[in-house]
Amino acid sequence: MSQEFIEAEMRLFAQQSKEVDIIITTAQIPGKRAPLLIKREHVELMKEGSVVVDMAADSGGNCEVTQKGQIINYKGVTVIGVTDLPSRMAAQSSQMYGTNLLNLMDEMKRAKDFVVDLNNEIITGMCVTYQGEAKWPPPKKDPPKQAPPPNQAPKPQILKPVEVAAPKKRRSLGARITIGVILWIIGLAIFCVFGLWGPETFLTHLSIFVLSCIVGWTVIWNVTPALHTPLLSVTNAISGIVILGGMTLISHGSWKNTTTFFAAFSIMFASINAAGGFLVTYKMLRMFKREDETTGRQV
């Protein structure tokens, strides 16, 4: 090679050293020292953290700062000069790369009938220069032609009639007012019965119960639907308190007392709520368990 070619090559390497983050050199000459391509000043031009992989380190190296069999750091640039790279490469990677090269040679008719077919998309996609002409970038591939629409018109589909449910008739305003008045009268009658024949403490507890129902309804109604399942788990504690309170009232009262009667009902309904809450909690916790493949048990 002429001196002008070598000088132009060195200028190109110097320019590329400023831009690239990694340089891999593979140039070797059988029976001779590997040619020196990447000089010390080229490495100094590279950015800090860059890497030079000298695969010709066993025959002297293509990089001036390469040390045979070692990985060094030269002014922030890692220079890899190990000589056992093939043994460090996975066998699968080497086999896949070799298979690709073998298939490429088969595509190009091997050495006997070697040909560069520029009409072949595979060859065109990797060809940079050919016979002194630049072939990169490869020509753009035309998009596939769309199939012409069929001449036959699609058969009309017979749609089945959909039965639409008749809208529910809404009660008139007068009917709603009448029902509301009747419910208020029934409620007042119940309170009057409790006030005339019930104990004084019962009225106090009933007032607190009604207020708690109103507050509880307002709070629960505003809870996000996604939190209803955890909410059922939390109400187990409240149901337990109700059960204990009912048991306390029963133990200190008589069966002829109205308080004892309602305490028994509270125990029954709270027990149903507690049992349902524990069942929902159990099903919710099972969603976070998995089955052990060895023992078959859920963990």
* Per-position pLDDT tens, the chain of length 299: 788 999 999 999 999 999 999 999 999 988 889 999 999 999 999 999 999 999 999 999 999 999 999 999 999 999 999 988 777 777 778 888 889 999 988 888 888 888 888 888 888 888 899 888 888 888 887 777 776 666 666 666 776 676 666 666 677 778 888 888 898 898 788 778 777 776 777 777 777 878 888 887 787 777 777 676 667 666 777 888 888 888 888 887 666 777 788 888 889 988 988 888 888 778 877 877 776 666 666 66
Query: Are 42 and 14 contacting, i.e. CB atoms less than 8 angstroms apart?
Result: yes
Distances (CA, A) of 108 to 101, 122, 177, 265: 11, 10, 93, 91
The residue written with tokens 């700062």 in the block is: 65
**For tokens 């337990």, what's the residue?**
240
Q: How far is CA 14 from CA 11, 19, 23, 44, 283, in A?
A: 5, 9, 12, 10, 68
Give the burial class of 51: count Cβ atoms within 10 A of its Cβ; 0-12 exposed, 13-18 middle, 19 or more buried. Answer: middle
pTM: 0.34
Question: At a CB cut-off of 8 Å and minimum separation 6, what does 35 contact?
Answer: 27, 29, 62
Domains of the chain: 3-88 (3.40.50.720), 91-134 (no CATH), 177-286 (no CATH)
